[in-house]
């Protein structure tokens, strides 16, 4: 029997074969349709219980199976899985449309919605009803039959295009390698980086050293390699992903995605895709987002330009280069940082052994929220790299299952993310606990060294774990409102606030010990980390703002007349650009956040949430970073509530006030 068609709690990875997915998904789609039909055909008068709650509880097994499948397609994919994804994605899109465009079902939900004042609903029930009603009305329930068919076609096309976009980026990332055979080409690289590159070469049955476009390989090379020509080669390869004249080119995919998104929004009565998306976000309108981004840019631009000019002058003085290029930035910034703060990432890495950092973030979660993490090797997993944990509270009650997958491999897309294999909900009076996963791409251990993280990787681990806590500590009735099912510009608050603990002496002393000597990180280094925290903050802010502006440019109007992706991108970056433009590279063709993931018209949310996290952490700093009262309040008002309450109301319940933007500018050193 197909293991995906049996009821299961823990995902049965070892029993699943690729050929199980398509038949299971097709069968569960049919089962879900039957569940929906039962609601539609119920002759009793529509009520919250027999309509809204019943609809919320449909398709639960399908959701479990598709979460397993699409998580594998991101973390452990292959040609076969990608082919299955292309087959089942349109079927799932069609199911979603069948549901949202079902007139009889919408009529029942609308009947409950219109009579909601006569029901005694909890705040969470009201939110679920509101979300369901808007789900129908915002996704075509009021369209004519002809327009509903157009919407179905657009959604099916978009589902396939987004998959193809991601497959092309992964293929281009995997296709490139820089094979070096002369040791002189490695000048400037730390021993650990060279050893990792030699190990990669050996795995590919090559002599010498191999560097790839995976972050743990790419970033150290760009930061330390003295050979400028090789840095240029690697930088251009990274920037040219899915922008080359080959089968993996994403230019037409980008243009088709933005055109279809605009057509979809117009069909639903919206001015643009951004208008459609932002109606349900804290920011509310494109005008408000652009005002937010441009106001920050006014504050950041002078600092960014000053930092850039200083960096270029430093580089010219050091190496008499003619002009600072993109492949020079990380290299000279690292040298300048070392000169200014006597802080070298390579000197920090021995204090950040991966296992210690993991234990450190667990300790922080324990001190703040009373959580215990116990490794459990009996939990089934999809790859030997994955570590599995049972998470319990102070009384030993299960809170969550936690999967941690931290190293790059060919079947895994780049970057870092949090995901879920099972949501939290209270179903039939049982508190069904969530199964949460963090996936990252950190440097692998070598023969002589364990996995040692850069400080940036430490903050990445804390960031994704913050998302993880949002999922683990969920405490809602309905899974559709549970955990990270919140406004996209609120979802980054739990992740970004946790990064702040990485800069605090009290935290670092918990886990930052030298992997060889056991020495606790010296206070001198802690102070240097804090002192350098705002190094090039102006340039970093401009970089994030430029991505947000590019996203809004792609999604803020009708672009059916655009034919040149690169030219459009260059214009969109506009005043935010600091480095000279390179004709061979294009960010949009590999901008997976907005063309494959869920960040379209939402990339601004990183900066938006930074305002929230800076203000929220200021409260922790004021009361003590491990203050139990503040931590409990944060857990009860933000982490556990999911999307049951409007995000600003949740924030004010925690903080007692709306966020103060000055907290971000002050932390970033941009407040004069």
Please give the angle made by the CA atoms of 354, 359 and 364, to the nearest 5 degrees: 125
SS3 state of residue 282: coil
Dihedral sign from CA coordinates of 273, 482, 418, 334: positive
Structure tokens at 89: 């994605």
The closest of 662, 638, 663 to 648, measured between CA atoms, is: 638
How far is the C-alpha of 214 from the C-alpha of 515, rounded, in Å?
25
Element (H, E) at 417: strand 417-422
Helix and strand element counts for the chain (H, E): 27, 9
Tokens 């039962």 belong to residue:
38
How far is the C-alpha of 643 from the C-alpha of 647, rounded, in Å?
7
The closest of 147, 197, 107, 182 to 447, measured between CA atoms, is: 197
183, burial (CB in 10 Å: exposed 0-12, middle 13-18, buried 19+): exposed
Query: How many CB atoms are closer than 10 A to CB 41?
Result: 8
Per DSSP, helices labelled H in 448-558 are 455-472, 493-499, 505-511, 523-531, 537-555
140 HSE (CA, 13 A, CB side): 24
Structure tokens at 178: 């820089």
CB within 8 Å of 419: residues ≥ 6 apart: 67, 71, 74, 436, 437, 439
Structure tokens at 233: 């080669």
Query: How many CB atoms are closer than 10 A to CB 347?
Result: 13
Bridge partners, 419 (sequence order)? 437
Element (H, E) at 432: strand 430-432
Catalytic residue among 76, 167, 464, 499: 464
Residue 271 DSSP class: S
Structure tokens at 107: 């009529």
Dihedral sign from CA coordinates of 363, 367, 369, 373: positive
Structure tokens at 456: 């940036």
Q: Is 464 a catalytic residue?
A: yes
Structure tokens at 246: 């080959």
The bridge status of strand 398-405 relative to strand 435-439 is parallel
CA Rg value for the chain = 25
The answer to whether 21 touches 65, Cβ cutoff 8 Å, is yes
φ, ψ at 402 (rounded to 5°): -130, 125
How far is the C-alpha of 616 from the C-alpha of 625, rounded, in Å?
11
Please give the angle made by the CA atoms of 167, 171 and 173, to the nearest 5 degrees: 120
SS3 state of residue 57: coil
Report the catalytic residues: 464
């Amino acid at each position: 029997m197909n293991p995906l068609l049996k009821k299961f709690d823990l995902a049965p990875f070892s029993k699943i074969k690729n050929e199980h997915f398509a038949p299971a998904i097709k069968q569960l789609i049919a089962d879900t349709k039957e569940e929906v039909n039962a609601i539609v055909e119920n002759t009793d008068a529509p009520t919250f219980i027999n309509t809204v709650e019943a609809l919320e509880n449909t398709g639960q097994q399908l959701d479990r199976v598709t979460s397993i499948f699409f998580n594998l397609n991101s973390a452990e994919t292959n040609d076969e899985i990608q082919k299955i994804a292309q087959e089942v994605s349109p079927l799932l899109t069609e199911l979603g449309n069948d549901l949202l465009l079902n007139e009889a079902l919408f009529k029942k939900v609308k009947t409950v919605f219109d009579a909601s004042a006569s029901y005694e609903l909890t705040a969470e029930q009201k939110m679920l009803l509101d979300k369901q009603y808007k789900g129908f009305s915002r996704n075509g329930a009021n369209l004519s039959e002809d327009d509903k068919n157009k919407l179905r076609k657009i959604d099916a096309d978009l589902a396939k295009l987004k998959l193809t976009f991601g497959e092309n980026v992964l293929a281009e990332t995997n296709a490139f390698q820089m094979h070096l055979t002369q040791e002189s080409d490695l000048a400037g690289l730390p021993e650990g980086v060279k050893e990792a590159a030699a190990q990669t070469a050996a795995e590919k049955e090559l002599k010498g050293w191999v560097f790839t476009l995976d972050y743990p390989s790419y970033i150290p090379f760009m930061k330390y390699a003295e050979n400028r020509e090789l840095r240029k080669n690697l930088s251009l390869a990274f920037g040219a992903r899915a922008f080359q004249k080959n089968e993996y080119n994403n230019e037409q995919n980008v243009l088709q995605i933005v055109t279809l998104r605009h057509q979809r929004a117009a069909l639903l009565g919206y001015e643009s895709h951004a208008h459609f998306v932002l109606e349900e976000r804290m920011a509310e309108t494109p005008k408000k987002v652009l005002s937010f981004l441009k106001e920050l840019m006014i504050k950041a631009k002078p600092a960014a330009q000053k930092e850039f000019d200083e960096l270029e002058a430093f580089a010219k003085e050091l190496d008499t280069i003619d002009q600072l290029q993109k492949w020079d930035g990380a290299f000279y910034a690292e040298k300048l940082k070392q000169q200014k703060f006597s802080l070298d990432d390579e000197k920090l890495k021995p204090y950040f052994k991966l296992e210690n950092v993991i234990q450190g973030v667990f300790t922080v979660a324990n001190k703040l929220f009373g959580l215990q993490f116990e490794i459990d090797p009996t939990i089934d997993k999809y790859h030997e790299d994955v570590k599995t944990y049972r998470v319990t509270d102070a009384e030993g009650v299960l809170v969550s299952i936690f999967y941690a997958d931290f190293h790059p491999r060919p079947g895994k897309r780049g970057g870092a993310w949090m995901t879920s294999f099972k949501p939290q909900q209270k179903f039939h009076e049982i508190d069904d606990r969530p199964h949460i996963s963090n996936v990252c791409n950190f440097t692998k251990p070598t023969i002589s060294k364990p996995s040692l993280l850069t400080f940036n990787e430490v903050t990445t681990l804390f960031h994704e774990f913050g998302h993880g806590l949002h999922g683990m500590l969920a405490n809602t009735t309905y899974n559709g409102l549970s955990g990270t099912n919140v406004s996209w510009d609120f979802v980054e608050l739990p992740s970004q606030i946790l990064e702040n603990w990485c800069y605090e002496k009290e935290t670092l002393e918990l886990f930052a010990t030298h992997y060889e000597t056991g020495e606790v990180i010296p206070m001198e280094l802690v102070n240097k980390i804090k002192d350098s925290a705002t190094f090039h903050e102006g340039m970093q802010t401009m970089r994030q703002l430029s991505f947000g502006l590019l996203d809004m440019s792609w999604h803020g109007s009708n672009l059916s007349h655009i034919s040149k992706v690169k030219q459009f991108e260059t214009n969109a970056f506009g005043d935010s650009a600091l480095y000279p433009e390179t004709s061979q590279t294009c960010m949009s063709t590999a901008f997976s956040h907005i063309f494959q993931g869920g960040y379209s018209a939402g990339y601004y949310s990183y900066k938006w949430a930074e305002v929230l996290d800076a203000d929220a952490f200021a409260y922790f700093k004021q009361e003590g970073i491990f203050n139990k009262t503040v931590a409990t309040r944060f857990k009860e008002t933000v982490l556990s509530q999911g999307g049951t309450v409007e995000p600003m109301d949740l924030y004010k319940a925690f903080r007692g006030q709306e966020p103060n933007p000055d907290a971000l500018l002050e932390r970033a050193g941009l407040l004069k």
